[in-house]
Amino acid sequence: MNTDARSTVSLFDLARSLPGMATSAPGMIRNAVHMLVKSGDKASIGLFFQRGAAKHPDRPFLRFEGRQYTWGEANAEVNRYANVLAAHGVRRGDVVGILLANRPEALFTVLATVKLGATAGLLNHNQRDTVLQHSFGLLNSVLDVIGEECADALETLDEPRPNVLWSEELAAQARIVDDANPAVTEQITAKERAYLIFTSGTTGLPKASVMTHQRWTKSMAGIGGLGVRLNGRDTLYCCLPLYHNNALTVALSSVIAGGATFALGRKFSATRFWDEAIANQATAFVYIGELCRYLLNQPPRRTDRAHTVRLCVGNGLRPELWDEFQNRFGLERIVEFYGASEGNVAFINAFSIDKTAGFTPLPFAIVEYDDATGKARRGPDGRLRRVAHGGVGLLLAKVTDSSPFDGYTDAEATESKLVRDGFKKGDCWFDTGDLVRDQRFGHIAFVDRLGDTFRWKGENVATTEVEGAFGGIDSVTQAVVFGVDIPGADGKAGMAAVTLHEGATFDGKVAAKALYERLPTYAVPLFIRVVDELEQTSTFKSRKVELRKQGYNPDAEGTLYVLAGRTDGYIPAYPDYPADVAAGRVPAN
């Protein structure tokens, strides 16, 4: 757990921030009203974007690799895309699968989909084979828009997709259709679905979490309007993948809330990051914690301070890096937030206090938990118990009419995330699965992630998905996967304990080749321990906890191997490997 995290927030901390917020007060007040949006209100992503285009049509909206679209041009292009999608049968309430890398066409497709009242199903273009097939199955899409750069992913499917519209064909057809705003856009209500965002679950296969227009609107008001507070002169640089909520909800809603400019990067590059920020005239950027560490690991450059960036917004910046990151790159504000794709609560550092994930006005509880199961612990009376101020516990968010849990496409998966009758009969809480510190005055600090899902390189990794991939290694009979901490690195690195067939030997190159073929790069474990046996009793989970605690301790039982990269595969462990990982020297993926 983070010992450098701020234990509590004081009234003095809050008061000290108020003068700096004064200049943003008009915009904050204007956006605050959207926090009150009701499920039946006419409020949607497409409508807010459309209104922005009408208000300032000549202001830059999107920049990408030297190209620029004004708000008016982008809205017209989105409308043409929407007309093409409608001609292909997309109607209000339908789902459109979207499998594209970062480029303007991807953003236009998403906006066109939601303007029609359809749902954008954002597919992770790192997925392959059965995992991607499963994700497509959850969407139940009437049409899939796919970029040519993702053709290889499509070829790994056992069954072809029945209704595919290549992005290039969509763009070509859009050049010859009308660009008027779709009439349906003004009829869409806040309760309707906007996005399906994939998140890993304990089943090992992705779950499709629902983002409604209501929750997106509240994000626009809370994170964008009250927290980030962009204006028409700002440009926010985003190099995170568009299938992430950090890009399509946090970054996009902040831009729309402030009438600002969205600068889209194809992908993150630690060496080119500040050059691209400068080229795009960025005044803000969106991050995940790993991005910040990678930037700090770069040697000092002139561009560290030659940019015009004054703030950043994101989640996962470790407290011990906060001051160094802010001071080295000359940032006025770090707007850390806490939220989950499927969650019904978000925290935002609106008061610009260091080392906090921020504040929320929504009801939540931080409760005692069972370390072995990761579930909320109940007392003798059957009720939950809150931790003391400054303490660490499991974060629960209360489910109410104004703060609903939209859940997943799978009803059983949705119910499994709810805690009922927690403090009194009839109440209902969403279990975030995260450990946080209670910092007082509605503030929290993120501490750790519980359960079978861990986070590495900005992605959620489901242990059972990785365990399934070990089935492609002939010598392996069983595998147990878990996340382990590496000092100086964000998230948890993957580790596996495996057993082999009698008489078999472990071949590190063969194992790495099989895992790279079946998993996204970020999900390939960094450590593998070969052991004689793995317990498979009713207490297996407690054994998994024990394995996690042993981690990559060289004195633990078995033979430990570490990932040197795609070519060299797994090699015998050596003492400096964790430090090499933290410094970005290995693995060479």
Asked if pLDDT for residue 240 goes beyond 90, the answer is yes
Quote the CA–CA distance of 55 and 358 in Å, as a whole number. 32
Quote the CA–CA distance of 246 and 474 in Å, as a whole number. 39
SS3 115: helix
Quote the CA–CA distance of 368 and 347 in Å, as a whole number. 20
H or E element that contains 255: helix 252-258
pLDDT at position 584, please?
87
Structure tokens, 246: 């950090």
Quote the CA–CA distance of 578 and 100 in Å, as a whole number. 34
SS3 478: strand
pTM (2 decimals)? 0.83
Q: What is the mean pLDDT of residues 209-238?
A: 95
Over the Cα atoms of the chain, what is R_g?
24
Report which DSSP code applies to 432. E
Structure tokens, 385: 């118990």
Quote the CA–CA distance of 164 and 528 in Å, as a whole number. 40
Q: What is the dihedral of CA 54, 60, 61, 67, to 10 degrees?
A: 130
Find all residues with CB under 8 Å of 587, minimum gap 6, and list them.
524, 526, 563, 564, 565, 566, 581
**Residue 238: beta bridge partners?**
264
Tens digits of per-residue pLDDT, 359-392?
998 899 999 998 767 899 999 999 999 999 999 9
Q: Percentage helix, strand, coil, to 5, in the chain?
A: 35, 25, 40
Q: What is the mean pLDDT of residues 189-196?
A: 97
Quote the CA–CA distance of 542 and 178 in Å, as a whole number. 61
Q: Is 143 left (phi over 0), alpha (psi -120 to 50) or beta?
A: beta
Per DSSP, helices labelled H in 88-181 are 104-115, 129-139, 151-154, 167-174
Task: Write the burial class of residue 159 (CB in 10 Å: 0-12 exposed, 13-18 middle, 19+ buried).
Answer: exposed
Find all residues with CB under 8 Å of 549, minimum gap 6, and list them.
none
Contact between 483 and 492 under an 8 Å Cβ cutoff? The reply is yes
pLDDT at position 542, please?
41
pLDDT at position 5, please?
61
Find all residues with CB under 8 Å of 162, minimum gap 6, and list them.
none
Per DSSP, helices labelled H in 398-478 are 411-416, 463-469
pLDDT at position 361, please?
86
Tens digits of per-residue pLDDT, 62-71?
999 999 999 9
- Buried/exposed 178-188: b ≥16 CB within 10 Å, e otherwise: ebebbebbeeb
The mean of the pLDDT values for the chain is 91
Closest CA to 48 of 210, 195, 216, 251: 216
Quote the CA–CA distance of 42 and 59 in Å, as a whole number. 25
**Where residue 410 falls among pLDDT bands split at 50, 70, 90?**
confident
Amino acid code (one letter) for 190? A
Report which DSSP code applies to 386. B
Tens digits of per-residue pLDDT, 328-360?
999 999 999 998 777 889 999 999 999 999 999
CA 523-155-264 angle, 5° bins: 60
Q: What is the dihedral of CA 61, 63, 66, 67, to 10 degrees?
A: -50
Report which DSSP code applies to 348. E
**Number of Cα atoms under 13 Å in the Cβ half of residue 138:** 25
Report which DSSP code applies to 233. T
Quote the CA–CA distance of 559 and 397 in Å, as a whole number. 43
- What percent of the chain is modeled with pLDDT above 90? 71
**Where residue 110 falls among pLDDT bands split at 50, 70, 90?**
very high
Asked if pLDDT for residue 310 goes beyond 70, the answer is yes
Quote the CA–CA distance of 531 and 547 in Å, as a whole number. 11
CA separation, residue 9 to residues 19, 346, 351 (Å): 18, 18, 11
* Distance between start and end Cα atoms, the chain: 28
